[in-house]
Amino acid sequence: MERSIEILTALSLGIFGLSHLLQPRVWVRFFIDLREKGEPGVFTVAFMHLPFGLFILAFHRVWTGIPLVVTLLGCAWTFKGTLYFCFPAIGLRGMGMVSLERLYFFRVGGVALILLGGVIGYSLLTSMPPFPLGR
């Protein structure tokens, strides 16, 4: 199960990272739209983080090596989702920093997500069992 969660995480990070890198303007508009909704918009962000974080924490208890990164992401996303649900003003404060003038932050974040997904993917590839050629 841990390996499946690592694959899911690596692919998700890669896709979200590529999207942040190629479509930062859309991401900025998305978060500005959520910010304009106020606290319900913050709940949307919490819904984006909490379920995946809890899923990782429930089924990925790896505390060594590169896979530890996946577990720590699960902890971080669970914390962020919980924080935003319980204290939406904190989420609004963070979303208040999003602007078209700071578009580059989404590109930088995209590169970071791609690299993180790549590290997890590399770990998966280098720890793959050999492919059986016959019986």
In tens, the pLDDT along 10-64 reads 999 999 999 999 999 999 999 999 999 999 999 999 999 999 999 999 999 999 9
64 within domain boundaries = yes
132 within domain boundaries = no
Specify the amino acid at residue 78: T
What are the helix and strand counts (H, E) for the chain? 6, 0
Which pair of tokens denotes residue 7?
A: 């694959």
133 within domain boundaries = no
pLDDT at residue 129 is higher than 90: no
Instruction: Tell me what pLDDT residue 30 has.
Output: 97
Instruction: Tell me what pLDDT residue 91 has.
Output: 96
Question: What's the pLDDT tens digit per position in 65-108?
Answer: 999 999 999 999 999 999 999 999 999 999 999 999 999 999 99
Could you give the number of structural domains in the chain? 1
135 within domain boundaries = no
User: Residue 119: which residues within 8 A CB-CB, separation 6 or more?
Assistant: 66, 69
Range of the domain at 59: 2-126
- Report the run of H or E that residue 89 belongs to, with start and end: helix 88-95
